[in-house]
Structure 1
């Protein structure tokens, strides 16, 4: 159902209720608004406006007190039609730049950059932050290396766009020499470089079918047979970086044991967390672009464990691959601040990881 158009007076009062509730975590009454905000309205008029907002479902009365709190519908109207996002604070900007720049300067692994991004985003937002690396299956294969662990055991290291690395140990039913490994590595890099892992997995047999029979044939066949796992997606645990749990558990919304248990269950289910954030919600014909911010509030989140949360997410890009970063917190969050921090972090992350190439 579409939101009804509110009058200017109703918009002002709804915005004040939300902003005041974000700060105080306490129901907001008409007398408080009349005394603290210069609206030129009497206590009785504000009370009538709040009654209209409650009848329309934008605010509710949690107890018998006169105070009101925003509903999911009220928050949605606010983020869509009332809030105005300002430019990021210079101090916040410098903290993000400094943390990501140090990783890039030291030429550390991309996982270090993603973990640093999650930590600084959690500290600045004072909420739970989540960063998901791009899907490796859509990443461009750059090169492959093999290291001998024994004559029948090798470690394969895949380098994928922007220093994303995947390693896997292969157990062989044949013995191989260092010379045979070097032959196969050179051949695979010649034939497969520039393809996505999805493309390699589906076509590797055809791409290597005309290779000479004496070119370490046994090892080459083993690579083809193992392509399903070798060039497959990285496990969820290797793609997910989270930080900021200590901030969110101190929020008043989680002062009840059941709420804390629900939060712990949500954090432990890494598969659902990745699934929640990788749904772009914009439809197949409207893919996410840089700067797109998605805000899902309360029951708009499909997972029941996230019904008490707001999720603010946005994509970042490394070449043609896309990762996600997000802030999860109580619906009573500082939306303007979180949106500008998430948006700036995504841009910095895209730039930093792309510069690794």
Structure 2
């Protein structure tokens, strides 16, 4: 979309309609704009401008109101061509940093750090926040440990780049001694450490070709490689917070709206796909880095048509996770972008520094 699609006067009025609606949640009338904004325009002129914006599909009129509200098209134009994202100020930085320290007490625990990030984003943005841990396939394997739980069960603990840990309990069909466990652990760590999980899955047989893997514990590990070195289930990678904030928004004053929202949140697989899916998400024009903003019907899932999703990646070594804020389309876009951007930096730094 080009800026020439709207005149400077239309852009100014559209920006005011959106900013006013974000604050008040009430439809915005030409009289309200004339009285509260010194545009040098009469009520009648503003009304004509709003009529043109409505004809072009940028704003619409609720049935029972004389005012106008933004449409998905209006929000998209605003995000791409009107919104100005300022650098995060020191006060907001301090709030985020102090809250992050409060929630993430043990920064050696990646789960605690990711949940803390979700809590901070939720409380600061007053929206629903979602943090998705990185896909483990591209993560670097550091070491493996085994804990004998009983004569027929063993727990395998995989330490993955930057604090991420995966545990799996395996059933044994043979008895093993602690000495055998130590030997297998030593071989696996010597041969596999420093490789990506997908590399291990695809090459473990070749890398252990000179070992006896026909039977025994080492053979069980090789046969179970697709499970041991695979992705964690998507619902284990998802951290959500801020439900109490989003349900207090005026958009959810009807019980069925709250029910639909809760159903969407509880379907973690669908929520994860929503955050990861960015084929149709559109990078915001003036936004730093690679923040994407998906509005209303731009979402591939019809259940998200009443929402805006602001997402950005964070990085841990060679892997990438995503964090997002989900809220009504009537959100303070510039502020949410600042919070998401800064939180991504905090998360990348915290997870990359602790090893």
TM-score of the superposed pair, with normalisation by structure 1: 0.94
The corresponding residue for 1:123 is: 123
Which whole-Å CA distance do the structure 2 matches of 1:350 and 1:68 have between them? 41
Shift of 1:103: 6.8
Question: 1:234 is paired with a residue of what secondary structure?
Answer: coil
Does structure 1 residue 301 correspond to structure 2 residue 299? yes
Bigger mean CA deviation after superposition, 69-78 or 274-283: 274-283
The corresponding residue for 2:337 is: 339
Which whole-Å CA distance do the structure 2 matches of 1:18 and 1:161 have between them? 44
The corresponding residue for 1:315 is: 313
Shift of 1:108: 3.4
The corresponding residue for 2:16 is: 16
Does structure 1 residue 48 correspond to structure 2 residue 42? no
Question: 1:350 is paired with a residue of what secondary structure?
Answer: helix
Shift of 1:237: 2.1
The corresponding residue for 2:35 is: 35
Q: Deviations over 1:245-279 (max 9, x none)?
A: 00111111111222112111111110011111112
Shift of 1:183: 0.6
Which whole-Å CA distance do the structure 1 matches of 2:8 and 2:198 have between them? 53
The corresponding residue for 1:178 is: 178
Question: 2:195 is paired with a residue of what secondary structure?
Answer: coil
Which whole-Å CA distance do the structure 1 matches of 2:207 and 2:104 have between them? 36
Which whole-Å CA distance do the structure 2 matches of 1:188 and 1:302 have between them? 43
Query: Aligned-residue CA RMSD in angstroms?
Result: 1.8
- Distance change >3 Å, CA 282–CA 186, structure 1 → 2: farther
The corresponding residue for 1:75 is: 75
Matches within 5 A, 1:1-357: 5-101=5-101, 106-211=106-211, 213=212, 218-281=216-279, 291-357=289-355
Shift of 1:114: 0.4
Which whole-Å CA distance do the structure 1 matches of 2:228 and 2:64 have between them? 62
Bigger mean CA deviation after superposition, 274-283 or 152-161: 274-283
Question: In the alignment, is the contact (CA less than 8 A) between 1:168 and 1:230 conserved in 2?
Answer: yes
Q: Which runs of 5+ in 2 are unaligned?
A: 282-287
Question: In the alignment, is the contact (CA less than 8 A) between 1:137 and 1:197 conserved in 2?
Answer: yes
Which whole-Å CA distance do the structure 2 matches of 1:62 and 1:339 have between them? 28
Question: In the alignment, is the contact (CA less than 8 A) between 1:126 and 1:244 conserved in 2?
Answer: yes
Q: Which runs of 5+ in 1 are unaligned?
A: 284-289
Bigger mean CA deviation after superposition, 60-69 or 48-57: 60-69
Which whole-Å CA distance do the structure 2 matches of 1:166 and 1:334 have between them? 38
- Distance change >3 Å, CA 332–CA 35, structure 1 → 2: same
Which whole-Å CA distance do the structure 2 matches of 1:315 and 1:264 have between them? 25
Question: In the alignment, is the contact (CA less than 8 A) between 2:135 and 2:320 conserved in 1?
Answer: yes
Question: 1:348 is paired with a residue of what secondary structure?
Answer: helix
TM-score of the superposed pair, with normalisation by structure 2: 0.94
